[in-house]
Structure formats: C-alpha cells, structure tokens
A and B are shown apart, each in its own frame.
Chain A
C-alpha cells in the first residue's frame, strides 16, 4: 500500500468487479439481512426491487473486499520493486452511502475509487486521513452504489 505522502487528490483506481450470484446473495442475507426480498426470488420480484436483490451491506462489503485486494496488489508490486510498504490503519467511518439501484442476482458490479481529500491527523502524529469516493457500476453501465469513506494512512516519517 502507498504512504500518505505519495497519494494525490484526484487519483483514480479501478479496483475490480464482483458478481452477485443468487447463492451469495442468499447466504449473506441469511446471516445479516434476512428480509424477504434478499432471500427469495419470488418475493424479490414482488418487491420494489423487481428481483432477488443483494443486501446493501453485501454490496458495501463486496466493495471493501475489492479495495483490500487492490491495496494488497499494490503492496506486492511495491515490495517487488524493493520499496517500503505502508500498512494502512483503520477507518473512522463513512458518509453519503447511496444504494442507487438494486443489485440483482447475476449482476456484476465494477467499482472505481477516487481520492477526494487528504489531511494530516491532528490527534495522531505520523498519520494522515485520506477520503475517497467509491462508485459501483453494473454490467449495463448503470451506477448502483456510491460511498465517501475515510481511512488512516501512515506518512513516510511515522505511523
């Protein structure tokens, strides 16, 4: 992963795509969001969603899995170049999460991450707080998901 110093506002990364199979939608929903339109095709068709729909928390968690995988890919590449690797810290939270359109069984959502803000942490020397907007677009080119989330990222001098 990159250090805070090396990240610029406006940097854009295509972090990958996730296919929401009916099985994965139902498995996630049974654990965390057992509403009828996330568990059953017929109930989904009869709901506002118009089909078996993924839990919004599944859509967000899938996005997180791709962000982490992309970060680990960058870290491996940096290690291969002999560079020092930054270990990112936790996130203080997110805002403006939008489930814009339903994600239905069989949909593939591609996510793109854009850095929108960076500032040094006042309370934690050696750390910066990075804010990025991530959007998800389905295979028909429709935007289905967006979120603005922050994370603690170490600076080169500390962290």
Chain B
C-alpha cells in the first residue's frame, strides 16, 4: 500500500463551531472553505475542547487488510474467508491493530503532521466495536476531550483526543482516547 493509495477527496463535517471548521479548512479538510489558506502550524491553542473535525474518507482494500494481517496479526479470521465466516465476526475482518494504524494515518493526514506535535505518551483506551470489512470507506470523528498545559514543561500542552472511526453507514467501528503532546504558541509562556 502506498501512502496515497485508496484516499479520496477529503471532506469535513460542517456542523461544528466556526473556528474549528476554519482550522480544519486550513488543514485542507473542509471543502466548504477555499483551499488557499497558507500552510500553518497548529499549536496547543488551536485545540479547545469540543468537536475538532471529521476526516476521510479512507478506502480500505481487501489486499491491504490481508497484507497487514499477514505481517502483524495472522489469525485465520483476518486471513481466510472460510475460517472468518465461522468466526464470531462472521466474515473476513481487518486486524484491530490495522484499524488503529489507519486511524493514526487519518489523524496524521488530518492535522497531526501540521501540528507542533511531540508525540504521545500512550492510549487510555481503545474499544473495537464492529469489524473492519474489505471495501470499507472510513471516516474519523475527532473530538478534544480535554486540553491542559504541562506543569513540568510549561512550553507544552497535553491534548486528550477521542477519535471514532466509522464506516460509510455511520456505524462506529472503533473508539480511541489518547493524549498528544503539542507545543504552545511562542510568547504564551
């Protein structure tokens, strides 16, 4: 799978507050805004609590589901149609780790590679709710649950995100809650 394979034109929900839509638009993920915004670096201040944006869709092929499973999660339910049809998930499904990795990629394309991100200390929780299927078109709802500055490193903020991956029918496939360290805007410390 190449970095751009299977990606389609980005869209973004238009139902959220103006400022956040504007940020999403600056990230190139909202077609309701012109694409002529200058590239900008998002800082801690750009992530107030609330809906940040919706990203995708990302098309997931059968071949990439099989390739990920062969390398990282070679269980029959992720590799073999017949075994998968007899499994609890009733058909071929992608590895949960593949889905998480795809969610990471959608966050990266959506905003993290444009943000002053310093990485993440971990993930509070992931819930795998419904199977990832070959041919799914994923969208990712991104909410900021909490944003606080670091006591030990005042130049940093900690933004806790909740991301929900959905298929084209809007069914939630996975929810992830995870903090990310993001630099504060210069001059704010």
Contact = CB atoms under 8 A, between A and B. Distances in A.
28 contacts: A32-B102, A32-B105, A34-B105, A34-B113, A35-B108, A35-B112, A35-B113, A47-B119, A48-B119, A48-B181, A56-B120, A56-B122, A56-B123, A61-B72, A61-B101, A64-B95, A64-B97, A68-B74, A72-B74, A87-B76, A91-B128, A93-B96, A93-B127, A97-B124, A98-B121, A99-B121, A124-B88, A127-B88
Interface residues of B, number: 38
Report whether over half of chain A's contact residues are helix, strand or loop; otherwise say mixed. mixed
Interface of B: 1, 3, 71-77, 87-89, 93, 95-97, 100-102, 104-105, 108, 112-113, 117-128, 131, 181
B71 to A, nearest CB: 7
Interface residues of A, number: 40
Nearest to A71: B75
B100 A93 contact: no
Nearest to B70: A65
B113 A62 contact: no
Nearest to B76: A87
B88 A90 contact: yes
Most chain B Cβ neighbours within 10 Å, of A48, A56, A69, A98:
A56
Interface of A: 28, 30-37, 47-49, 53, 55-57, 60-62, 64-65, 68-69, 72, 87-99, 124, 127, 152
